Amino acid sequence: MALQPGDPETRVSSGRPSSGTADVARVRLEAGRAQILGRHRSGAGGQEVVRSISALTDEVVQQMFAGICGELPGAAPPRVALIATGGYGRRELSPRSDVDLLALLPPEDAPAPERARADAVQARAASQALVREGTDVRYLESTFVPADEICFALFQAHSAEQVKELIDRAAIPYDHIVEAVRLEADQR
């Protein structure tokens, strides 16, 4: 089902009391902003402040998105990529900045190459988020095989568990994870 703006069927909440996701986010934002303000008053520069506010916003948006996804019916996570734009995308949020997000949804009837491309975008975004959080797992590239409508994604990580964490965060469907070793011919 494609989400349509204004369509009551696409609402995550229908006016019922929230599950607490918004309340938890509000508390985290208030506490984080207070910490950042304290650091600013202690001499932290403007760049540190705007980057800290952006990092805090990343954390809260990811937690809210995970919470909302947990409220949706069905076992499969939604196939959507959230893209930060504007000041948020540049990691330049000031204390009263709005948060601009773009949601990319692949059409349900998208051809396999388009779905593979969308998965690659989601993998790259999840990889960047995990690296920012201190997990050294990187999405490198994907190879799509049109005849079989199958896609192979290449990651660099210390373990298959890190790759699974990235794939799960990116909400990419997959069959299995296989560890591989990169080989290169000797160059003389």
CATH, domain 107-188, list 3.40.1350, 2.30.30, 3.30.70, 2.30.29? 3.30.70
More confident residue, 13 or 34: 34
More confident residue, 13 or 111: 111
Listed in sequence order, the DSSP H helices in 6-153 are 21-41, 46-71, 86-89, 112-132
More confident residue, 27 or 10: 27
Is residue 137 scored above 90 in pLDDT? Answer: yes
pLDDT value at residue 154: 93
- pLDDT, tens digit (0-9, with 9 covering 90-100), for 56-84: 999 999 888 887 777 665 545 666 778 88
pLDDT value at residue 3: 43
Bridge partners (DSSP) of residue 84 are: 101
What are the boundaries of each domain within the chain?
21-105, 107-188
What is the rounded CA–CA span in Å between residue 124 and residue 91?
A: 17
Q: Which residue has the tokens 């509000």?
A: 26
8 A C-beta contact, residue 116 and residue 109: no
Q: Helix, strand or coil for residue 48? A: helix
pLDDT band, residue 188 (cuts 50/70/90): low
